[in-house]
Amino acid sequence: MAYRSFLPVILSLGLVACGGSSTEEPSGSASAAPPQDAGFVNVYSARHYDSDKALYEQFEQETGIQVNLLEGESEQLIQRLVNEAEFSPADLLITVDAGRLWRAVENDVFQPLDDELLQSRVPEEFRDGDGLWYGFTKRARVIVYNKSEGLPEGLETYEDLADPAFQGQICMRSSSNIYNISLLASMVERDGEDAAQEWAEGVVANFARPPQGNDTSILRSIAAGECSISLANTYYIARFAASDNPELREVYDNIGIIFPNQGTSGTHVNVSGGGLTQYASNRENAIALLHFLTRPDIQQAFSAGNNEYPINLEAETAPQVTALGSFEEDDLHVTALGTNQATAVRVFDRAGWR
């Protein structure tokens, strides 16, 4: 594979001083003879997917720009950028969830980018208002239920999860999970802190067990009948649906999906995205990579490779993702998932959602 992982020497000040030469935006199709000595771009990424690495390799082939990749958890990468400050080799930070992108903004690790091409490709609600970051992909957080028990009567919205009718039926991830924090932050934005508090307490009262696991293990629990109702991101479900593994297919066949709030605010969606780091030395190469990642054909590859929804409305969504069903999205600007994050954490704590 053509992309490079960071080595200790790459993280030295010597690399920062080298810098990379700029390049023009990729034309949209691979060149038979990519430009030589086009420099490099250094990427810190919290997306750990082989499909992303394949796209970086394609970018290298088209542009001649070498991608140096450092993978890590979002909080670790943000803290690393803070610690490295002006000595950081990173040109781009890529992470998942608008809440984490907001944390990066709060830690001043991005620089603004006023770019007409990116603005035309990324809808306003899925990018920072000051151009600090741009979304790449979307995922929806949906209600899942055990299909053998039938469609739960009266369960159509996130708010319905707090109905006492579902007492003892719900399993959830920990309140420290960023997906749950962002969902509650959206409720705080729309309905206020008091309503969010009432909802969180109602859901806790309906728990079948203490919060545990991740989306994948929860899907297995639902399919096995260990609990009846939960929440999961769509890309996990589509991954099971597209799998050749009979066990995973069986899990998918045993769960049903509800896109919540179709008659009200729409289904909660979140993003992965990225932006130029504050001290990017290879700025033009980094912009070229951002242009590449938001191109319609690459957006389609994102969808096919990791079962996500494209940000660019001109891109096609992968069949296994569209097979989950159509739905109306919540049009809330995703920055609200960050600005209400601290309030959401306090609400969870008071509700006893551990």
CA atoms within 13 A on the CB side of 295: 19
Residues 206, 340: one domain?
yes
CA atoms within 13 A on the CB side of 305: 18
CA-CA distances (angstroms) from residue 330 to 49, 218, 269? 27, 24, 7
Residues 53, 201: one domain?
no
What is the Cα–Cα distance from 341 to 281, expressed in whole angstroms?
32
What is the Cα–Cα distance from 323 to 194, expressed in whole angstroms?
37
Kindly report the CATH number assigned to the domain that includes residue 291: 3.40.190.10
Do 141 and 219 touch, CB atoms closer than 8 A? Answer: no
pLDDT at residue 12, as a whole number: 31
pLDDT at residue 17, as a whole number: 31
pLDDT at residue 21, as a whole number: 34
Residues 248, 234: one domain?
yes
Residues 260, 184: one domain?
yes
User: What pTM did the predictor assign?
Assistant: 0.88
DSSP SS3 for 192: coil
**Residue pointed to by tokens 């060149």:** 31
What is the Cα–Cα distance from 189 to 295, expressed in whole angstroms?
31
Across 11-26, average pLDDT: 34
Query: How many other C-beta atoms can be found within 10 angstroms of the C-beta atom of residue 326?
Result: 7
Over 60: is that where the pLDDT of 27 sits?
no
Residues 118, 143: one domain?
no
pLDDT at residue 154, as a whole number: 97
pLDDT one-digit tens code per residue, 213-268: 999 999 999 999 999 999 999 999 999 999 999 999 999 999 999 999 999 999 99
Residues 97, 49: one domain?
yes
* Structural domain that includes position 200: 139-267+327-351
Residues 172, 258: one domain?
yes
What is the Cα–Cα distance from 300 to 136, expressed in whole angstroms?
11
pLDDT level of residue 19 (50, 70, 90 thresholds): very low
The three state secondary structure string of 11-56 is HCHHHHHHCCCCCCCCCCCCCCCCCCCCCEEEEEECCCCHHHHHHH
Over 50: is that where the pLDDT of 281 sits?
yes
pLDDT at residue 2, as a whole number: 45
pLDDT at residue 38, as a whole number: 82
Residues 75, 189: one domain?
no
Question: Would you state the structure tokens that stand for residue 177, as one six-digit string?
Answer: 């999970």
Q: Give the Cα-Cα-Cα angle 100, 181, 327 (nearest 5 degrees).
A: 95
Do 213 and 184 touch, CB atoms closer than 8 A? Answer: no
Residues 225, 345: one domain?
yes
Question: Would you state the structure tokens that stand for residue 303, as one six-digit string?
Answer: 């969808």
Q: In terms of DSSP H, where are the helices of 112-229?
A: 116-121, 178-191, 193-205, 215-224
Do 347 and 196 touch, CB atoms closer than 8 A? Answer: yes
Across 8-23, average pLDDT: 34
Domain count, the chain: 2
Question: Would you state the structure tokens that stand for residue 310, as one six-digit string?
Answer: 């494209």
Across 320-337, average pLDDT: 96
Percentage of the chain with pLDDT > 90?
89
pLDDT level of residue 5 (50, 70, 90 thresholds): low
Give the residue from 351, 336, 329, 307 showing the smallest Cα distance to 137: 307
Helix (H) or strand (E) holding 352: none
- Please tell me which residue, 311 or 12, carries the higher pLDDT value: 311
Do 1 and 57 touch, CB atoms closer than 8 A? Answer: yes
pLDDT level of residue 11 (50, 70, 90 thresholds): very low
Residues 149, 255: one domain?
yes
Mean pLDDT estimate for the chain? 91
Over 70: is that where the pLDDT of 1 sits?
no
Q: Give the Cα-Cα-Cα angle 257, 258, 261 (nearest 5 degrees).
A: 160
What is the Cα–Cα distance from 334 to 175, expressed in whole angstroms?
19
Residues 216, 89: one domain?
no
pLDDT at residue 30, as a whole number: 42
Residues 12, 36: one domain?
yes
What is the Cα–Cα distance from 120 to 122, expressed in whole angstroms?
6
Over 80: is that where the pLDDT of 25 sits?
no
Do 282 and 39 touch, CB atoms closer than 8 A? Answer: yes
pLDDT level of residue 14 (50, 70, 90 thresholds): very low
